């Protein structure tokens, strides 16, 4: 009892002194390792928000508040903390605990408004700078490959799968704006450098209700850095296997309402070769450079103007073998791509209830490639591709009351494509309108409903609705569920492609051109066998989907968190690549067809456990069931045949069918983080598993049904070590794929690689 009396008297004395001096108090915010927690916020009881600087410091005039007033401290990657003014007066040193999972982090991609993950009724993952750094990745693909529910696949380039759906159904955003340039249908993830990423938001499930047709599977929003306080500058250097070198510099200034950020990155590599018996590298030697500028200006309390620009260029060269006259001849292959983005926006907030945001986006994407015989200089193949994309959008947010937020958006998109492979300059126009209502009727319920209407110049109108809900049974256990629809119109490539890969020897025709193309090849004597009647191809139907996601978040203890998500996607008229004819050179002619009904369903489970301040463990697992209902019906009707081990023909049984190609039924990851207290070194060990999957149709019956058609499962183990010094220098080293596990059918995996990295904060280094 005496201790309580003494504590109360001491608190009163401190409060009296503080009120008498009227001097602001400097608050220091650190993590449990003693490092400053920069760029957080302190929320006062009157709604005022104070920013924490990069040194973890914030100045507050505590004398203006009673000792019992509560303050809240938030920082990305840390659990939010509540404490009273009186407690801060006693000890102005705040220690934040690293968050368990991502419950305390805010995301923009899920609702286009800032929402805490804890309050979102949909599955979302947030990757902070620290988590990205732990991967030791040079490019974005290496970061995403380690996340539960995402699968890196080699399919006409390095692609991504989410819930069994390919990268064509995953919308990739950069600072909230879509990235284009899918010349082969797959967005090249390696176009995005890693060193200037602030965080990555991964939203699973159909998001067409607010983002449109490209978001049938989900959304990946890459948010780049900005300047939060004063002047800061960083230098980043990373070197690794295959003579890979990544050099970057960034500088930022935040003063007098201005926010300025500049970034430049140069990346080069010698590439790698997984098959030394043939000419050409699996990954060609190339150089890439990225430049980005972001400007922001606060005009009074109501207006905010921002503009950002990004430039990317990639150049590659290689020597390949090309078939000519029955023999393989050496040919020089070279190419380049260029991506330019300009994104201005204006935000007007006249009061606390209304917010108006006008955005514009212009993207120019160009590629050029040429292949010539080394000895003669004769042109084997030459292609140009040019895509232009413009979008203007007005978003209005209106707070109906403390429990309801209404969002209305209207926009227009214009897209043109001009390329060697297309006969004409093709142009698509579309307008759209989306509505979203966020409602918290009680403290336990959170509901988000929305719908988007698209009017397409070629495919008419479409409506994509969605409803999501979450119920908190307690502070530790909550359920979430959502159901939504999506659609995707055929693109230029699927309709009008006329492409010959001279290096490998295959042809790809759009569904409108395949009959004419195959007939020409037949006249030239290049067709050995027709696999599908080309006259059955024609105009493609838009895809339509329904998806359900449901699961729960369960914080079993303060240090153990379990997340689950069960999903089912049902897609009508899925546009799939199919072989039309076999050529005399052994390659195929491909085109696109609609599959009547495809289903992908399964479960995603992730557990996070914290043991003191030094140990963290996470375990992720995904089960995926993917199938074509039309194939199953055909199997049941006895329409599919195969040969057994005695070369006898027999009907394919249901148990033989392995589902859709290039999809693993089982995948997962395990991660261990250890902070060595005395040296301050962070050790991160990760294991990434991908189960067996079908790589091709060996027996020629167009389905996955034979053991020889599977690639074996593979486990990769990565290790990184890093240390952050007090002077702003960070050093990191590591090895990826320690056991050198390689799958011959996966061209994205180069085997064992090493790297070393340094990050120097110049303002901290010379400011100390």
Residue 140: is its pLDDT beyond 70? yes
Average pLDDT over residues 175-201: 80
> Under a CB-based contact definition with an 8 Å cutoff, are residues 398 and 404 in contact?
no
Alpha-carbon dihedral angle through residues 357, 178, 220, 254, given to the nearest 10 degrees? -50
Q: Output 730 or 461, whichever has higher pLDDT.
A: 730
Average pLDDT over residues 608-619: 92
Specify the pLDDT at position 586: 62
Average pLDDT over residues 166-189: 78
Q: Output 738 or 523, whichever has higher pLDDT.
A: 738
Q: What percent of the chain lies above the pLDDT cut of 90?
A: 36
Spatial separation of the C-alpha atoms in residues 501 and 450, rounded to whole Å? 43
What DSSP designation does 629 have? H
Specify the pLDDT at position 13: 46
Specify the pLDDT at position 7: 52
Residue 504: is its pLDDT beyond 60? no
Specify the pLDDT at position 646: 75
Specify the pLDDT at position 17: 45
Residue 259: is its pLDDT beyond 70? yes
Average pLDDT over residues 466-491: 87
Kindly indicate the confidence band of residue 294, based on its pLDDT and cuts at 50, 70 and 90. very high
Give residue-wise pLDDT tens across range 642-665: 887 777 888 999 999 999 888 999
Residue 113: is its pLDDT beyond 70? no
Residue 311: is its pLDDT beyond 90? yes
Please state which of the ranges 150-154, 547-551, 628-632 shows the lowest mean pLDDT: 150-154
Beta strands 124-128; 150-154: pairing state:
unpaired
Residues facing residue 247 across a β-bridge: 237, 266
Kindly indicate the confidence band of residue 5, based on its pLDDT and cuts at 50, 70 and 90. low
Specify the pLDDT at position 520: 83
Which range of 215-219, 374-378, 583-587, 671-675 scores highest in mean pLDDT? It is: 671-675
Alpha-carbon dihedral angle through residues 113, 118, 124, 127, given to the nearest 10 degrees? 90
Same fold flag, 2-96 and 220-767: no
* pTM summary value: 0.84
SS3 per residue for 478-514: EEEEEEEEEEECCCHHHHHCEEEECCCCEEEECCCCH
> Under a CB-based contact definition with an 8 Å cutoff, are residues 658 and 704 in contact?
yes
Spatial separation of the C-alpha atoms in residues 455 and 432, rounded to whole Å? 6
Spatial separation of the C-alpha atoms in residues 160 and 422, rounded to whole Å? 26
Kindly indicate the confidence band of residue 267, based on its pLDDT and cuts at 50, 70 and 90. very high
Spatial separation of the C-alpha atoms in residues 293 and 689, rounded to whole Å? 38
Kindly indicate the confidence band of residue 92, based on its pLDDT and cuts at 50, 70 and 90. confident
Q: Output 591 or 228, whichever has higher pLDDT.
A: 591
**CATH entry 2.40.170.20 includes domain 220-767:** yes
Specify the pLDDT at position 264: 97
Within 10 angstroms of residue 93's Cβ, the number of other Cβ atoms is 11
Residue 501: is its pLDDT beyond 80? no
Spatial separation of the C-alpha atoms in residues 38 and 9, rounded to whole Å? 34
Residues facing residue 594 across a β-bridge: 575
- Domain definitions of the chain by residue range: 2-96, 220-767
Please state which of the ranges 298-302, 416-420, 459-463, 723-727 shows the lowest mean pLDDT: 459-463
> Under a CB-based contact definition with an 8 Å cutoff, are residues 224 and 175 in contact?
yes
Within 10 angstroms of residue 446's Cβ, the number of other Cβ atoms is 23
Please state which of the ranges 45-49, 177-181, 572-576, 598-602 shows the lowest mean pLDDT: 45-49
Distances in Å between the alpha carbon of 35 and those of 127, 146, 680, 726? 20, 26, 10, 8
Q: Token digits for 72?
A: 């809240």
Alpha-carbon dihedral angle through residues 756, 188, 178, 193, given to the nearest 10 degrees? 10
Give residue-wise pLDDT tens across range 21-71: 456 778 888 877 777 777 777 887 766 777 777 777 888 877 777 777 788
Average pLDDT over residues 283-291: 91
Residue 14: is its pLDDT beyond 60? no
Residue 410: is its pLDDT beyond 90? yes
Residue 295: is its pLDDT beyond 90? yes
Residue 713: is its pLDDT beyond 80? yes
Third-level CATH fold of 2-96: Immunoglobulin-like (2.60.40)
Q: Token digits for 759?
A: 């990050």
Kindly indicate the confidence band of residue 740, based on its pLDDT and cuts at 50, 70 and 90. very high
Spatial separation of the C-alpha atoms in residues 95 and 75, rounded to whole Å? 11
Spatial separation of the C-alpha atoms in residues 329 and 316, rounded to whole Å? 20
Q: Where are the beta strands (DSSP E) in 241-302?
A: 244-255, 258-269, 286-299
Specify the pLDDT at position 288: 94
Q: Token digits for 22?
A: 């009227």
Full DSSP string of 113-162: S-EEGGG-SS-EEEEEHHHHHHTT-SBHHHHHTTSTTEEEEESSSEEEEE
Distances in Å between the alpha carbon of 455 and those of 12, 433, 574, 644, 768? 66, 9, 20, 51, 58
What DSSP designation does 111 have? T
Specify the pLDDT at position 607: 96
Closest CA to 194 of 253, 267, 243: 267
Q: What percent of the chain lies above the pLDDT cut of 70?
A: 88
Q: Output 542 or 243, whichever has higher pLDDT.
A: 243
Residues facing residue 591 across a β-bridge: 578
Spatial separation of the C-alpha atoms in residues 41 and 60, rounded to whole Å? 12
Specify the pLDDT at position 103: 47
Distances in Å between the alpha carbon of 722 and those of 136, 410, 676, 682, 759? 10, 46, 11, 5, 11
Average pLDDT over residues 387-399: 93
Kindly indicate the confidence band of residue 721, based on its pLDDT and cuts at 50, 70 and 90. very high
* 3-state secondary structure at position 140: helix
Full DSSP string of 293-355: EEEEEEETTTEEEEEEEEEEEEEEEEEEEEEETTEEEEEEEEEEEEEEEEEEEEEE-SSSSEE
- Residues constituting the chain: 768
Q: How many CA atoms lie within 13 A of 552 on its CB side?
A: 12
Q: Output 583 or 325, whichever has higher pLDDT.
A: 583
Specify the pLDDT at position 600: 95
Specify the pLDDT at position 15: 47
């Amino acid at each position: 009892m005496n201790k309580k009396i003494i504590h109360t008297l001491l608190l009163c004395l401190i409060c009296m002194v503080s009120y008498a001096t009227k001097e602001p108090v400097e608050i220091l915010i650190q993590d449990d390792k003693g490092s400053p927690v920069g760029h957080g916020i302190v929320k006062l009881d009157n709604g005022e928000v104070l920013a924490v600087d990069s040194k973890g410091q914030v100045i507050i005039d505590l004398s203006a508040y009673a000792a019992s007033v509560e303050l809240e401290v938030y920082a990305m990657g840390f659990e939010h903390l509540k404490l009273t003014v009186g407690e801060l007066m006693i000890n102005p040193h705040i220690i934040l605990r690293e968050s368990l999972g991502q419950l305390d982090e805010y995301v923009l991609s899920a609702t286009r408004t800032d929402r805490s993950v804890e309050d979102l009724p949909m599955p979302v993952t947030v990757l902070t700078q620290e988590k990205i750094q732990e991967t030791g990745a040079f490019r974005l693909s290496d970061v995403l490959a380690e996340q539960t529910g995402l699968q890196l696949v080699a399919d006409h380039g390095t692609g991504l799968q989410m819930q069994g759906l390919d990268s064509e159904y995953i919308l990739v955003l950069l600072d909230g704006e879509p990235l284009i340039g899918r010349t082969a249908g797959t967005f090249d993830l390696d176009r995005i450098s890693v060193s200037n990423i602030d965080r990555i938001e991964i939203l699973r499930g159909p998001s067409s209700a607010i983002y449109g047709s490209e978001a049938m599977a989900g959304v990946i929003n890459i948010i780049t850095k900005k300047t939060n306080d004063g002047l800061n500058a960083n230098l980043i250097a990373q070197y690794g296997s295959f003579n890979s070198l990544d050099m970057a510099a960034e500088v930022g200034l935040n003063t007098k309402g201005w926010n300025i950020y500049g970034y430049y990155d140069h990346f080069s590599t010698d590439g790698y070769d997984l098959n030394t018996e043939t000419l050409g590298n699996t990954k060609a030697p190339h150089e890439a450079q990225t430049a980005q500028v972001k400007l922001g200006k606060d005009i009074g309390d109501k207006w905010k103007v921002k503009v950002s620009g990004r430039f990317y260029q990639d150049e590659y060269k290689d020597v390949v073998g090309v078939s000519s006259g029955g023999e393989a001849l050496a040919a020089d292959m070279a190419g380049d791509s260029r991506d330019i983005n300009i994104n201005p926006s204006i935000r007007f907030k006249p009061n606390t209830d209304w917010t108006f945001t006008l955005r514009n986006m212009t993207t120019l994407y160009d590629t050029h490639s040429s292949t010539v015989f080394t000895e003669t200089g004769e042109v084997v193949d030459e292609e140009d591709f040019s895509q232009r994309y413009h979008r203007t959008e007005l978003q209005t947010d209106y707070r109906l009351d403390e429990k309801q937020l209404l969002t209305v958006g209207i926009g227009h998109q214009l897209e043109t494509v001009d390329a060697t492979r297309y006969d004409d300059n093709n142009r698509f126009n579309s307008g759209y309108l989306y509505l979203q209502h966020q409602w918290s009727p009680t403290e336990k319920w959170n509901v988000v409903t929305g719908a988007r209407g698209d009017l397409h110049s070629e495919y008419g109108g479409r409506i994509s609705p969605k409803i999501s809900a979450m119920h908190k049974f307690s502070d530790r256990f909550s359920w979430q569920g959502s159901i939504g629809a999506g659609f995707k119109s055929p693109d230029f490539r699927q309709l009008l492609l006329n492409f010959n890969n001279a290096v490998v020897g295959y042809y790809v025709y759009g569904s409108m051109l395949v009959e004419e193309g195959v007939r020409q090849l037949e006249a030239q004597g290049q067709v050995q066998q027709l696999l599908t009647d080309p006259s059955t191809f024609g105009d493609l139907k838009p895809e339509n989907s329904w998806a359900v996601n449901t699961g729960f978040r369960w914080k079993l203890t303060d240090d153990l968190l379990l997340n689950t998500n069960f999903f089912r996607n049902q897609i009508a008229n899925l546009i799939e690549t199919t072989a039309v004819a076999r050529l005399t050179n052994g390659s195929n002619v491909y085109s696109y067809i609609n599959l009547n009904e495809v289903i992908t369903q399964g479960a995603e489970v992730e557990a996070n456990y914290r043991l003191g301040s030094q140990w963290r463990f996470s375990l992720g697992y995904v089960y995926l069931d993917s199938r074509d209902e039309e194939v199953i019906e055909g199997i049941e009707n006895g329409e599919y045949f195969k040969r057994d081990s005695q070369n006898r023909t027999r009907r394919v049984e249901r148990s033989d069918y392995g589902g859709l190609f290039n999809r693993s039924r089982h995948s997962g990851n395990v991660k261990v983080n250890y902070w060595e207290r005395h040296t301050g070194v962070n050790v991160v060990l990760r294991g990434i598993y991908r189960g067996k999957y079908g790589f091709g149709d060996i027996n020629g019956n167009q389905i996955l049904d034979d053991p020889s058609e599977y690639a074996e499962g593979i486990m990769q183990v990565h290790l990184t070590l890093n240390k952050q010094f007090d002077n702003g220098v960070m050093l990191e080293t590591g090895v990826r794929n320690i056991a050198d596990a390689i799958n011959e059918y996966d061209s994205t995996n180069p085997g064992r690689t090493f790297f070393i990295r340094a990050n120097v904060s110049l303002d901290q280094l010379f400011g100390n």
